[in-house]
Amino acid sequence: MRLPHAWLALQAITGREVVKFVRQGGRFASALVRPLLWLVVFAAGFQNVFGVSIIPPYESYIPYQEYIVPGLLGMVLLFNGMQSSLAMVYDREMGMMRLLLTAPLPRAYLLFAKLLAGTLLSVLQTYVFLVVAVLFGVAVPWSGWLYALPVIVLAGMMLGALGLLLSVQVRQLENFAGTMNFVIFPMFFISPALYPLWKLEESGATIVFQIARWNPFTHAVEAIRFALYGQFAAASTGIVVVSLIAFFMVAVHGYDPQRGMLKRTGPVA
């Protein structure tokens, strides 16, 4: 694989994803409106219930509205990762994936380019949400916007790789909505996106607490939360990286028609 060919393929795949996204105005609106509703309505309703929340290791209190911002950023990344995998299923049904994966480039690189393109759109949406959140009075340190960028990219790639893996398992577009709900809602609600994990342990929900600790989305949210306040969550970031590699490797294996899941489920298109 020559570098000019690889760069040209990356440009083509990314350009196609950007053009599709620009033409789908409703997709951008839904990606922005959904977390804003949670920020404005949910935070207002639960502010008096949770009061203020502690984020270790700062041992300082922040308003609940600011506490859930990292979780809502994770929500944007999670939903966009699932939307990208939905597009993969659609492309497979329409025959576009056959054209892509028969290109004279390694299959892993083509899927990685697809993953990067989806992550780029995810990151852009998260920063648009941050801008709008500031307009609603959420005080996130400006330095945190820069510190959080690498972590947001890693989290977006990890969730995109999970979506890539799911796209292998789903053969028909009609079945994907149920699969998305089965993955998205447990990952989001069994995580510290809306409440600290120690509240689960404190309330006696030990099983839910343990599940949340093994949830990759939990560590994506925690890594983003720490980064927004200038801290580096080494353990959570490491788990995000390991999950990214694992999801992507299994997805690449699954998209191999000779060895992977597609050998059992049928051709790519």
Q: What are 16-26's pLDDT values in tens digits?
A: 777 777 777 66
What was the pLDDT predicted at 56? 44
Of the candidates 117, 129, 55, the one whose C-alpha atom is nearest the C-alpha of residue 81 is: 117
Specify burial of residue 7 (Cβ count, 10 A radius: 0-12, 13-18, 19+).
Answer: exposed
What was the pLDDT predicted at 50? 47
Region 55-68: mean pLDDT is 61
Query: Taking the alpha carbons of 216, 16, 90, 129 in that order, is the dihedral positive or negative?
Result: positive
The DSSP 8-state label assigned to residue 174 in this structure reads G
Residue 264 has pLDDT above 90, yes or no: no
Q: For residue 136, what pLDDT band results from cuts at 50, 70 and 90? A: confident
Q: For residue 222, what pLDDT band results from cuts at 50, 70 and 90? A: very high
Q: For residue 152, what pLDDT band results from cuts at 50, 70 and 90? A: very high
Residue 193 contacts residue 221 (beta carbons within 8 Å): yes
Q: For residue 246, what pLDDT band results from cuts at 50, 70 and 90? A: very high
What was the pLDDT predicted at 198? 76
108 vs 177 pLDDT, higher one: 108
- How far is residue 248's CA from residue 158's CA, in Å, rounded to a whole number? 8
What was the pLDDT predicted at 184? 84
Of the candidates 251, 201, 242, 202, the one whose C-alpha atom is nearest the C-alpha of residue 220 is: 242
Which region among 12-26, 92-106, 155-169, 213-227 has the lowest average model confidence (pLDDT)?
92-106
Residues 194-210: tens digit of each pLDDT: 888 877 777 777 888 88
Residue 10 contacts residue 112 (beta carbons within 8 Å): no
Q: For the chain, how many structural domains are there in total? A: 1
Region 206-230: mean pLDDT is 91
Residue 49 has pLDDT above 70, yes or no: no
Residues 62-102: tens digit of each pLDDT: 677 778 889 899 989 998 888 877 777 776 666 666 666 66
235 vs 11 pLDDT, higher one: 235
> Token digits for 221?
């949210």
Q: For residue 52, what pLDDT band results from cuts at 50, 70 and 90? A: very low
Region 108-133: mean pLDDT is 88
Q: What is the DSSP string of 116-148?
A: HHHHHHHHHHHHHHHHHHHHTT----HHHHHHH
Query: How many residues in the chain?
Result: 269
Residue 47 has pLDDT above 60, yes or no: no
* pTM of the entire predicted model: 0.83
The residue segments making up the domain with residue 145 are 3-265
42 vs 34 pLDDT, higher one: 34
Q: For residue 46, what pLDDT band results from cuts at 50, 70 and 90? A: low
